[in-house]
Amino acid sequence: MNILGINFSAHDSAAGLIKDGKVIAAALEERFTRNKHDGRFPFNAINFCLNKAGITVEELDYVAFYWNSGIDIETVETRDFVRDDKEHLYFVPNQLMNLRKIRKNDYIEQKIAFTGGKELKIRFIDHHMAHAASCFYLSGFDEAAILTVDSYGEKTTLMMAHGKGAKIYEIKRVDMPHSLGQVYSTVTQYLGFRPNDGEGTVMGLAPYGKPKYYEQFKNIVKIKDDGTFEVDLSYFQYYLKRPVKYSQKFIDAFGEPRKNGEELSERHKDIAASLQKITEDVIKNAINFLYEKTKCNNLCMAGGVALNSVANGTSFRESKFKKVFIQPASDDSGTSIGAPLYLYHHMLGNPRNFVQINDYFGPEYDEECIKKILELSKAKYSYHKDIEKVCAKMLAEGKMIGWFQGRMEFGPRSLGNRSILANPKDPKMKDKLNSQVKHREWFRPFAPSVHEEKVAEYFEMNFEAPYMLIVCDVKENKKNEIPAITHVDGTARVQTVRMEQNPIYYRLIEEFGKITGTYVILNTSFNIKGEPIVCNPEDAMKCFFTTGLDALAIGNFLLVK
């Protein structure tokens, strides 16, 4: 059974393809169009998924859409903050027909008759159930507590659920206009960063400040005993669909908003710290309630707020849960695999048969293709069968390397296939990367990749974290050894690596460790600020030649400046 999942219309459009319950392919549209957070219909991503599976549109059994437009139709007349998405009922089949120039049939029943006569059924899936499915069904847990948190989906902003076998059972929801995601997005805008993009920047800024405004935020976001929360809406206007998300009352309480590019003051840093603390408290409260409600040892998380790796780390460590799985594509892109998984398992009753061990669901390019592109560009290159050994030596010498291998990552974190790598032992490396390569704010931290079996030697962590979604403390005796990945508060956003997850990346870390004695590598996404992660060899070469990178490894080919 082939099910195509689609997410589009707001931001981070994506497509994913599930075959008999297994994820075959998934990719964001932005990686192909080079328009960051592209929200348009994902024609390119769909074509990639179909080609990877070796099928055509006519061979699909279902299309699962990430948004239940019927929920909007019920509420749009009375709630002005709910997006009117009735057009999805017509637009989705229209665009699918444009994909293969097929003829129309009956829109009302959401069925399309293809040229071959086969009928394709479209299912509109509850947004937060799609998030829940994206983490639970891929976790490997037979049973788990589930928490999804984002800006909003249809009208829900937080959902607590219980996953058992092939079923997901809802426990409790928080609906708009009470939204933790929107509060974080609003303060991101207030601090001069772009909403739905700069939240990670605010998270990185928070450790430079002190939570002096925490008591004010506690009165704005009121935490309740039942695991939920309530927002004092007088401080906001995000639910009114206005470009400026905060109200005059918010300005009166916290001062004039920062303009983009304006110098960051201590007040800005303190507001970021206070926002981060209240966010962590809301997540902790929900997780603790979930544990008491389910008594499960396993926790699954998804939704845009689940990309807040600091909140993830503090909440999980202070909870009673023993294991956690956070969907690496926790933002809306992940619903393009969550929606078809929910349809396949929960709605159609099929048993689970797939566990996610990595996030490499995107395009890959073979050696012949890469060589052809290099020769066409007339770039000078060399070929190395032991590319990991060559690059490990260069990293030890302080070189900054673009690392392009295998299939592209699906989620927003580069995990060793579309990465920029550097030596974490160099105390000047953070500033060099931010200024010469990434072209982003000076305070932004970088993440470490470490062998899973060695993670406890360097970090206050004794469990796997393969998706760079949990922040923990760096061991006190290691902070001076790996300063480039140690944030100002002594923490790091860790990626653990196992051989079976990524053999060549594992070997690269191993070779670097043999040379330096440190089995940790600095890893950041292969892109510059404002651009998506590189997808193909041409994207990688463009980034290499227009930044301060010293070398580029594409497969076994090496380019050096």
Q: In terms of pLDDT, which residue wins out, 351 or 90? A: 351
**Could you tell me the strand order of the sheet in which 111-113 lies?**
22-28, 14-19, 2-7, 62-65, 119-124, 111-113
Element (H, E) at 547: none
- In this prediction, residue 69 has a pLDDT band, given cuts at 50, 70 and 90, of confident
Chain centre to alpha carbon of residue 37: 11
Reference 287, options 258, 261, 308, 256; nearest CA is 308
**Taking 90 as the threshold, does the pLDDT of residue 329 lie above it?**
yes
Q: For 367-560, CATH number?
A: 3.90.870.20
Question: Residue 122 in contact with residue 65, Cβ under 8 Å?
Answer: yes
Q: In terms of pLDDT, which residue wins out, 350 or 122? A: 350
Element (H, E) at 77: none
The correct answer on CATH 3.40.50.300 for the domain covering 138-329 is: no
Domain ranges of the chain: 2-128, 138-329, 367-560
Phi–psi pair at 108, nearest 5 degrees: -60, -45
**Taking 50 as the threshold, does the pLDDT of residue 379 lie above it?**
yes
Q: What is the pLDDT of residue 93?
A: 65
Count of residues making up the chain: 561
Q: What is the pLDDT of residue 77?
A: 41
Q: For 2-128, CATH number?
A: 3.30.420.40
Q: b or e along 341-367 (b: 16 or more beta carbons within 10 Å of the residue's beta carbon)? A: bbbbbbeeeeebeeebebbbbbbebee
Distance between CA atoms of residues 159 and 156, nearest Å? 7
Q: What is the pLDDT of residue 99?
A: 59
**Is 248 in a helix, a strand, or coil?**
helix
Burial zone of 39 (CB within 10 Å; 0-12 exposed, 13-18 middle, 19+ buried) = middle
Taking the CA atoms of 417, 425, 464 and 152 in sequence, report the sign of the dihedral they define: negative
Distance between CA atoms of residues 388 and 504, nearest Å? 7
Distance between CA atoms of residues 481 and 476, nearest Å? 10
Task: Give the N- to C-terminal CA distance of the chain in Å, as an integer.
Answer: 48
Reference 147, options 355, 278, 349, 308; nearest CA is 308
> Which residues make beta-bridge pairs with 145?
162, 299
DSSP of 483-552: GGG--TTSEEEEEEE-TTT-HHHHHHHHHHHHHHS--EEEEEESS-TTSPPP-SHHHHHHHHHTSS--EE
- In this prediction, residue 103 has a pLDDT band, given cuts at 50, 70 and 90, of very low
Q: What is the pLDDT of residue 79?
A: 47
Residue type, 373: I
Residue type, 348: L
Q: What is the pLDDT of residue 55?
A: 92
**Taking 90 as the threshold, does the pLDDT of residue 341 lie above it?**
yes
Distance between CA atoms of residues 96 and 99, nearest Å? 5
What is the number of other CB atoms lying within 10 angstroms of the CB of residue 548? 14
**Taking 60 as the threshold, does the pLDDT of residue 238 lie above it?**
yes
Peptide bond into 211 cis (omega under 30): no
What is the number of other CB atoms lying within 10 angstroms of the CB of residue 375? 10
Q: What angle do CA 398, 557, 381 make, to 5 degrees?
A: 85
Report, as an integer, the average pLDDT of 311-335: 96
Phi–psi pair at 58, nearest 5 degrees: -65, -20
Query: CA dist 405 to 371, 419, 447, 551, Å?
Result: 14, 9, 19, 14
Question: Which tens digits make up the pLDDT trace of 86-95?
Answer: 556 666 766 6
β-pairing, 156-164 vs 2-7, is unpaired
Q: Do domains 138-329 and 367-560 have the same CATH topology?
A: no
Residues 6+ apart with CB under 8 A from 510: 451, 519
**Taking 80 as the threshold, does the pLDDT of residue 59 lie above it?**
yes
- In this prediction, residue 85 has a pLDDT band, given cuts at 50, 70 and 90, of low
Q: What is the pLDDT of residue 107?
A: 33
> Which residues make beta-bridge pairs with 231?
221
Q: What is the pLDDT of residue 76?
A: 41
Residue type, 294: T
Q: What is the pTM of this model?
A: 0.93
β-pairing, 14-19 vs 323-326, is unpaired
